[in-house]
A and B are shown apart, each in its own frame.
Chain A
Amino acid sequence: MVAIPTAVKRLHRRRVLRGMVGGAAVSVGLPLLNCFLNGNGAALAAGGPLPTCFGTFFFGLGFNPGRWEPEAIGANYTMAPELSALAPFRDKINIYTGMQAFLDGRPNRVHDTGVQVCMHGEIARSREATPPSIDSLIGDVIGTRTRFRSIEVSSIGSSRGYSSRGRGEVNPSEVSPAALYARIFGPEFQDPNAATFTPDPLMLARKSVLSGMSEQRAALVRDLGAEDRARLDGYFTSLRELENQVSLSLQKPEPLQACTTPQTEKDPTTGTVVENVLATNKLFSGLLAHTLACGQTRVFNSIYTSALSTIRRAGSADTHHVLTHEEKADEKTGYQPETTWFNERSVEALVDLITALSNLHEGPGTLLDRTVIYVSTDTGRAAVHSLINMPLITVGSAGGRMKTGIHYHGNSDPVTRVGLTIQRALGVPTSSWGNDSNTTSAHINDVLA
Chain B
Amino acid sequence: MMMSISLFKPTNDGIASFLRFVSVGVMAALLMTTASPSAIAAEASVGKPVMRRLSPEQYILTINGIFGRDIDLGGNFETEVREDGLLALGASRVSVSATGMERYDAMARAVAAQVVDPAHRDTLIPCKPASVSEPDNACARQFLAEAGRLLYRRPLTEQELQIQVDTAAAATVRLKKFYDGLGLSLAGMLGLPQFLFHMQTVEGDPANPGQYRLDAYSKASALSFLLWNSGPDGELLAAAEGGALQTPEGLARQVDRLLASPRLEDGVRAFFTDMLQMHDFSALTKDAEIYPKFTTGVAQDAREQTMRVIVDHVVTRGADYRDLFTTRRTFLTPALGAIYQVPVRPYPEKDSPNRGWQPYEFPEGDHRAGLLTQLSFVAMHSHPGRSSPTLRGKAVREIFLCQKVPDPPGNVNFEVVQDTKNTIHRTARERLDAHAREPMCKGCHKLVDPIGLALENFDSAGGFRTSENGAAIDTKGEIDGVKYEDALGLAKAVHDSPAATACLVKRVHAYTTGRKTTPADNEWIKRLQDGFIADGYKIPALLRRIATDEMLYRVARPQTEAANPATTLFAQTTAQ
Contacts and interface: CB of A to CB of B under 8 A. Distances in A.
| Same assembly | yes
Interface of A: 21-23, 107-110, 127-128, 148-150, 152, 157-160, 165, 167-172, 174, 179, 183, 201-202, 204-206, 208-210, 212-213, 215-216, 219-220, 222-226, 228, 230-235, 237-239, 241-242, 245, 271-272, 310, 312, 314-319, 322, 325-328, 383-386
Interface string B533-576: 00000000000000000000000001110000000011011101
A293 B191 CA distance: 31
Contact of B160 (A216, A223, A234, A325): A216
B97 interface: yes
Given A152-B99, A160-B79, A220 B193 contact: yes
Nearest to A224: B51
Contacts of B79: 159-160, 170, 172
Determine which residue in B105, B177, B408 has the highest number of CB atoms from chain A within 10 A of its CB, and name it.
B105
Given A224-B560, A231-B51, A325-B414, 11 more contacts: A107-B410, A127-B93, A171-B99, A205-B175, A231-B95, A232-B95, A233-B95, A238-B97, A241-B98, A242-B105, A317-B386
Nearest to B188: A209
Contacts of A317: 287, 290, 383-386, 420, 460
B191 A213 contact: yes
Contacts of B188: 209-210, 212-213
B167 interface: yes
B410 A110 contact: yes
Nearest to B97: A171
Contacts of B408: 110
Contacts of A272: 285, 384
17 contacts: A149-B98, A170-B81, A171-B97, A205-B170, A205-B184, A209-B187, A213-B188, A213-B192, A216-B163, A225-B558, A231-B51, A237-B98, A312-B385, A317-B290, A317-B420, A383-B413, A384-B412
A385 B411 contact: yes
B492 interface: no
Contact of A216 (B99, B192, B288): B192
B98 A171 contact: yes
A319 B384 contact: yes
B457 interface: no
B174 interface: yes
Given A213-B188, A238-B98, A315-B290, A322 B418 contact: yes
A383 to B, nearest CB: 7
A241 B101 contact: yes
B166 interface: yes
A235 B48 CA distance: 21
Contacts of A183: 102
Given A110-B407, A328-B415, A318 B385 contact: yes
A148 to B, nearest CB: 8
B266 interface: no
B415 A172 contact: no
Nearest to A209: B188
Contacts of B384: 272, 310, 312, 317, 319
B410 A209 contact: no
A271 B285 contact: yes
B176 A235 contact: no
B559 A225 contact: yes
Contact of A225 (B48, B95, B175, B177): B48
A169 B90 CA distance: 11
B419 interface: yes
A222 B197 CA distance: 15
Nearest to B558: A223
B569 A209 contact: no
B181 interface: yes
A267 B552 CA distance: 47
Contact of B560 (A160, A222, A241, A245): A222
A171 B97 CA distance: 6
B96 A219 contact: no
B570 to A, nearest CB: 5
A220 B51 contact: no
A179 B100 CA distance: 14
Given A169-B95, A171-B97, A326-B415, A215 B163 contact: yes
B344 interface: no
A337 B101 CA distance: 44
Contacts of A171: 97-99
B184 A223 contact: no
Contact of B283 (A107, A157, A241): A157
B66 interface: no
Nearest to B187: A209
A325 B415 contact: yes
A150 B181 CA distance: 30
A314 to B, nearest CB: 6
Interface string B274-312: 000000000101011110000000000000000000000
A220 B560 CA distance: 13
Q: Which of B48, B93, B95 has the largest count of A CB atoms less than 10 A from its CB?
A: B95
A273 to B, nearest CB: 8
A209 B190 CA distance: 11
Contacts of B48: 225
B414 A172 contact: no
Contacts of A225: 48-49, 558-560
Interface in B171-188: 171, 174-177, 180-181, 184-185, 187-188
B417 interface: yes
Contacts of B289: 314-315
B159 interface: yes
A266 B165 CA distance: 42
Given A23-B174, A201-B175, A216-B163, A239 B101 contact: yes
Contact of B287 (A150, A312, A322): A312
Contacts of A245: 102
B78 interface: yes
A241 B188 CA distance: 15
Interface string B72-104: 000010110100000000000111111111100
Contact of B97 (A23, A170, A204): A170
B11 interface: no
Nearest to A244: B98
B488 interface: no
B194 interface: yes
Contacts of A237: 98
A205 B414 contact: no
A220 B175 contact: no
B199 interface: yes
A126 B385 CA distance: 35
A301 B116 CA distance: 38
Given A223-B573, A226-B559, A327 B95 contact: no
Contact of B573 (A179, A210, A220): A220
A282 B21 CA distance: 59
A123 to B, nearest CB: 13
B167 A209 contact: yes
